[in-house]
Amino acid sequence: MAAEIVNPKDGLDEDMIDPAFALHRGGKMAVQATVPVRDADDLSLAYTPGVAKVCSAIAEQPELVHDYTWRSQVVAVVTDGSAVLGLGDIGPAASLPVMEGKAILFKQFGGVDAVPIALDCREVDELVETVARLAPSFGGINLEDISAPRCFEIEEQLKKRLDIPVFHDDQHGTAIVTLAALRNASRLAGRTLGDLRVVISGAGAAGVAIAKILVEAGIGDVAVCDRKGVVSRDREDLNSAKRDLAGFTNKAGLVGSLESALDGADVFIGVSGGTVPEEAVATMADGAFIFAMANPNPEIHPDVARKYASVVATGRSDYPNQINNVLAFPGVFAGALQVRASEITEGMKIAAAEALAAVVADELSAERVIPSPFDERVAPAVTSAVAAAARAEGVARA
């Protein structure tokens, strides 16, 4: 539904009607100098002639760019506006408030500076080329709100071309937080990941990434469902991303609908929207975990989920156990930038999930399997774990 903006001719400012407009007027961020320019001496150091010495040094030793510019602490938040929140394809201009919001979350929760970049291009090759040409200004690239399956190809191409971290948060941020919550739910129930059969509703960016990280972490089995049912090897209507997905999921060989896959399942993870009938939820295993993360309307309402599940999580802030990407991406990038990592590996993602889970490992309850985004322990724990993992995997350069 389009936002209603008050016509100034009516004699009322929209800022007096809706506080969201008041907050966003003029944008939510600005550039601020970190050095003073108070007089001619300051000017000669911050700009010419002093800056020429630094430029010459970097030209001779390119790695010095990390020490003498902002590059080692700044991330580009890049979108084409094709899959923005629950709004869909609203274009680059309309996506900018979200990208600004993402940038301030980087700063608030991870101490990382970020620049929102909304690109007016849709072709994969064009977008990849544009980001690659912008990359020398940044220490990392956070891809945001780009539609599937294009997002997979864009990320893979950029990872091949660039020697800095490239991270599509809709995929990997969601996956990291989901794995952390699932680890703690399993601990609370006295189970292991290897015991669990998972059903994921949604075969887009988040669903694919969650499936990948769960398999990497040792899940018992995971079946992913799209609108036509279980993504299985015998289906002939799959795109390349779903064919790859079918190759490493669904060891049980399930076919048919989401509802049939839920019969006896230990875990439901929803990243698709829509509604799962209560009759299907009732067929899940005793003590199941339900992570229904569609916003604002979960696939399974928490009131329904609690009838059948021992642990319930959503994507909403007004229910316990919010699966919120802000628990992951600020610390992931902070850790990667700290050691000048060339990439973000699967091992670094799993380390982030383990560190995130450990924050509340001694405080577990059915309503606390994941920390609050405002828990000040989160970012330092994730940052440290990611930096250590980068060193262990040989992708750190500092």
pLDDT for position 295: 85
Q: What's the token pair of residue 194?
A: 């290897």
Looking at every residue in the chain, the average pLDDT score rounds to 93
**C-alpha distances in Å from residue 116, one per residue of 24, 63, 141, 151, 241:** 15, 25, 11, 17, 28
Tell me the three-class secondary structure of 16-50, residue by residue: HCCHHHHHHCCCCCCCCCCCCCCCHHHHHHHCCCH
Looking at 6-15, 45-54, 153-162, which range is the least confident one?
6-15
SS3 378: helix
Q: 67-164 adopts what CATH topology?
A: Rossmann fold (3.40.50)
Segment 51-73 mean pLDDT? 95
As a whole number of angstroms, the longest Cα–Cα distance in the chain is: 75
Q: Is the pLDDT of residue 10 over 80?
A: no
Band of residue 1 on the pLDDT scale cut at 50, 70, 90: very low
CB 379 within 8 A of CB 330: yes
Segment 14-27 mean pLDDT? 79
Pair type for strands 229-230 and 288-292: unpaired
pLDDT for position 16: 56
**CATH node for 171-398:** 3.40.50.720
pLDDT for position 321: 96
DSSP symbol at 322:
B
Q: What's the token pair of residue 24?
A: 């966003």
More confident residue, 93 or 9: 93
**Cα dihedral across residues 103, 104, 105, 106: positive or negative:** positive
Using alpha carbons, select from 17, 53, 330, 361 the residue that is nearest to residue 181.
361
Domain-wise residue ranges, the chain: 67-164, 171-398
pLDDT for position 254: 96
**C-alpha distances in Å from residue 257, one per residue of 68, 207, 228:** 56, 16, 7
User: What angle in degrees, to the nearest 10, is found between the helix axes of 205-217 and 169-189?
Assistant: 50
Band of residue 149 on the pLDDT scale cut at 50, 70, 90: confident
Looking at 70-79, 84-93, 332-341, which range is the least confident one?
84-93
pLDDT in tens, 286-341: 999 999 999 889 999 999 999 999 999 999 989 999 999 999 999 999 999 999 99
pLDDT for position 7: 47
Q: Is the pLDDT of residue 11 over 60?
A: no
Q: Is the pLDDT of residue 86 over 80?
A: no
Band of residue 3 on the pLDDT scale cut at 50, 70, 90: very low
pLDDT for position 8: 44
Segment 79-89 mean pLDDT? 90
pLDDT for position 19: 85
Percent of the chain predicted with pLDDT > 70: 96
Q: Tokens 């929102």 correspond to what residue?
A: 116
The runs of H, that is alpha helices, within the chain are 19-24, 40-46, 50-60, 65-68, 91-110, 124-134, 150-161, 169-189, 205-217, 240-248, 258-262, 278-281, 302-308, 329-338, 346-359, 378-392
| 285: Cα within 13 Å, side-chain hemisphere | 16
DSSP symbol at 88:
B
Band of residue 282 on the pLDDT scale cut at 50, 70, 90: very high
Cβ burial 329-355 (10 Å sphere, 16+ → b, else e): bbbbbbbbbbbbbbbbbeebbbbbbbb
Cβ neighbours for 194, distance < 8 A, ≥ 6 positions apart: 218, 219, 220
CB 183 within 8 A of CB 193: yes
pTM: 0.91
Q: Is the pLDDT of residue 196 over 70?
A: yes
Catalytic residue set: 47, 102
Q: What's the token pair of residue 50?
A: 């002093």
pLDDT in tens, 213-257: 999 999 999 999 999 999 999 898 998 889 999 999 999 999 999
